[in-house]
């Protein structure tokens, strides 16, 4: 996406890997931020080589990792309940960015047929050990075969956003359900931590969405936004990492207070640290 005529919003740093500095530009029409410059695909992988990037591992070495996996298990049940409530007749589900396969494993046990896509060979290897099936790329898949497609904190990582949205449209059945979870740069914790906000996560987060951006982007492909739901645990996780970036240490109490404050303030305008968007394919 071109940043010409886009307004500079914030200068941010890659705290977790390279220590390089990037710029965020605001697309006022979409109400979305764009990371600049965006790394090319041939060097993108090096920016994922971080000890903080724990979605590609099942390790529980530290208190932080143990807490992450405890919360993740609660979230998995909530995700499954969410999908079943919007698509009660269990069919075929595609999870893009399946990580170590925990969500698809839970869905399989509940009677769903599942397929995953995951670029990380390390994460994919762990998932295959749990019985998860993968395809290398969605272009290998037939059109209009999925009842549900999920992208849990993945859309912000996709280099070509417009092509990805077109591909989601192609893969979904008519009246199929699309579930997108992404951080929200309009949340209280984002405003509080500013350039230290961990969910900016440059440069592996190419895009930073608002509710307006999601609605407008998917409306182009005639997909309707039906519901926006909060991800209340994210404010605590993101605040904890943000404290580390800002102060150099994990300030658990301070992060917990900011997380609580963010969720409390979000009740008024529905601006949580992260949102889940439920969309229907018309």
Encode pLDDT of 69-107 as tens digits: 677 788 899 999 999 999 888 999 999 999 999 999 999
pLDDT reported for residue 49: 83
Q: What does the mean pLDDT of the chain come to? A: 93
pLDDT reported for residue 2: 83
pLDDT-derived band at 26 (thresholds 50, 70, 90) equals very high
pLDDT reported for residue 74: 86
Can you tell me the distance from the alpha carbon of 60 to that of 73, in angstroms, rounded to the nearest whole number?
A: 13
Per-range mean pLDDT, top range of 53-57, 59-63, 201-205:
201-205
Are 216 and 28 spatial neighbours (Cβ–Cβ below 8 Å)? Answer: no
Are 212 and 30 spatial neighbours (Cβ–Cβ below 8 Å)? Answer: yes
pLDDT reported for residue 62: 67
Residue 170 has pLDDT above 90, yes or no: yes
Instruction: Using the CB atoms, write b or e for 181-219: b if 16+ within 10 Å.
Output: bbbbbbbbbbebbebbbbbbbbbbbbbbbbbebbbbbbe
pLDDT reported for residue 119: 92
DSSP 8-class letter at 56: G
pLDDT reported for residue 63: 63
What is the rounded average pLDDT of the residues 193-220?
Answer: 98
Residue 56 has pLDDT above 80, yes or no: no
Task: Copy the structure tokens of residue 9.
Answer: 């919003």
Are 25 and 3 spatial neighbours (Cβ–Cβ below 8 Å)? Answer: yes
Tens digits of residue pLDDT in 116-132? 999 989 899 999 999 99
With CA atoms as reference, report the closest residue to 168 among 208, 216, 222: 222
Q: Is 227 helix (H, G, I), strand (E, B) or coil?
A: strand
Which stretch of 60-74, 172-186, 199-213, 240-254 has the lowest confidence by average pLDDT? 60-74
pLDDT reported for residue 51: 64
Which stretch of 65-79, 145-159, 221-235 has the lowest confidence by average pLDDT? 65-79
pLDDT-derived band at 58 (thresholds 50, 70, 90) equals low
What is the rounded average pLDDT of the residues 4-16?
Answer: 96
What is the rounded average pLDDT of the residues 238-253?
Answer: 96
What is the rounded average pLDDT of the residues 13-42?
Answer: 97
What is the rounded average pLDDT of the residues 158-163?
Answer: 96
Residue 53 has pLDDT above 70, yes or no: no
Q: What is the pTM of this model?
A: 0.93
Are 70 and 236 spatial neighbours (Cβ–Cβ below 8 Å)? Answer: no
């Amino acid at each position: 996406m071109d940043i010409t005529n886009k307004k500079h919003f914030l200068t941010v740093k890659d705290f977790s890997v390279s220590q390089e500095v990037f710029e965020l530009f605001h697309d006022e029409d979409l109400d979305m931020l764009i990371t600049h410059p965006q790394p090319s695909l041939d060097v993108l992988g090096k920016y994922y080589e971080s000890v903080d990037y724990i979605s590609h591992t099942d390790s529980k070495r530290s208190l932080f990792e143990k807490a992450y996996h405890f919360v993740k298990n609660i979230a998995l049940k909530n995700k499954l309940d969410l999908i079943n409530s919007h698509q009660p007749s269990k069919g075929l589900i595609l999870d893009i960015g399946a990580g170590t396969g925990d969500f698809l494993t839970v869905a399989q046990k509940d009677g769903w047929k599942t397929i995953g896509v995951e670029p990380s060979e390390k994460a994919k290897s762990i998932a295959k050990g749990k019985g998860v099936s993968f395809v290398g790329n969605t272009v290998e898949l037939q059109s209009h075969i999925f009842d549900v497609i999920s992208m849990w904190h993945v859309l912000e990582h996709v280099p070509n956003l417009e092509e990805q949205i077109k591909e989601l449209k192609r893969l979904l059945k008519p009246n199929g359900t699309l579930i997108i979870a992404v951080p929200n740069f309009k949340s209280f914790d984002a405003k509080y931590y500013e350039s230290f906000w961990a969910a900016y996560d440059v440069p592996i987060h190419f895009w930073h969405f608002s509710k307006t951006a999601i609605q407008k982007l998917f409306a182009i492909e005639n997909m309707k936004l039906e519901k926006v739901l909060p991800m209340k645990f994210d404010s605590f996780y993101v605040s904890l990492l943000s404290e580390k970036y800002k102060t150099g240490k994990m300030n658990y109490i301070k992060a917990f207070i900011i997380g609580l404050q963010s969720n409390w303030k979000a009740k008024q305008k529905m601006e949580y640290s992260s949102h889940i968007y439920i969309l229907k394919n018309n």
